[in-house]
Amino acid sequence: MSETMADESTTSGSEVAAGSSQTPAQLPHHKVKVKKAGQRACNEKNEKGKFCGGHLKRWFYSEDVIEQACGDAEKAWGADAEVYRCEHCQTLYLPSPEEEKVNVAGQGMISVFGLTLPPKKSS
């Protein structure tokens, strides 16, 4: 890919895991970002300045035939790290250090009413 992607590396992965707001270490063939808490869509901008908006899906890179030839992700994070990939622009996202639970779809909406109704009685 481009040489500028490899030059954007400013921090190590351990600093990102510790809660740093800086960008994670970039891989030679992939752009890497950190998900924000609750983020489910890509926020990467294209050359015109518009957001990509592709869905972020859990990426099992150890099973991806194309990635096996490259091998960047497995060298950087091991065989089974939690990584998400945009379905359109292929940007990789590491999980947010602020989120506690691993859930591919995210936490979802919490009821604003806070009501739990008992089940209806059958007559």
pTM of the predicted structure, to 2 decimals = 0.61
Per-residue confidence (pLDDT) for residue 112, from 0 to 100? 61
Phi, psi dihedrals of residue 33, rounded to the nearest 5°: -135, 170
Query: What six digits make up the tokens of 28?
Result: 């030679």
**What is the full DSSP assignment across 59-75?**
--GGG-HHHHHH-HHHH
For the record, the structure tokens of 114 come out as: 């806070």
What would the mean pLDDT of 98-108 be, rounded to a whole number?
Answer: 62
Long-range CB contacts (< 8 A, 24+ apart) of 117-121?
none
pLDDT digits (tens, 9 = 90+) for 21-41: 557 888 888 899 999 888 899
- What is the model's pLDDT at position 6? 39
List C-alpha distances in Å: 26 to 79, 100, 119.
Answer: 18, 24, 52
CA 8 vs CA 30, 37, 59, 63, 86: distances in Å: 11, 23, 22, 27, 19
Question: How far apart (Å, rounded) are the C-alpha atoms in residues 87 and 35?
Answer: 15
pLDDT digits (tens, 9 = 90+) for 36-85: 888 899 999 988 999 999 999 998 988 888 888 888 888 888 888 889 99
Q: Which of 12-16, 60-64, 92-96 has the lowest mean pLDDT?
A: 12-16
Give the pLDDT score at 43.
92
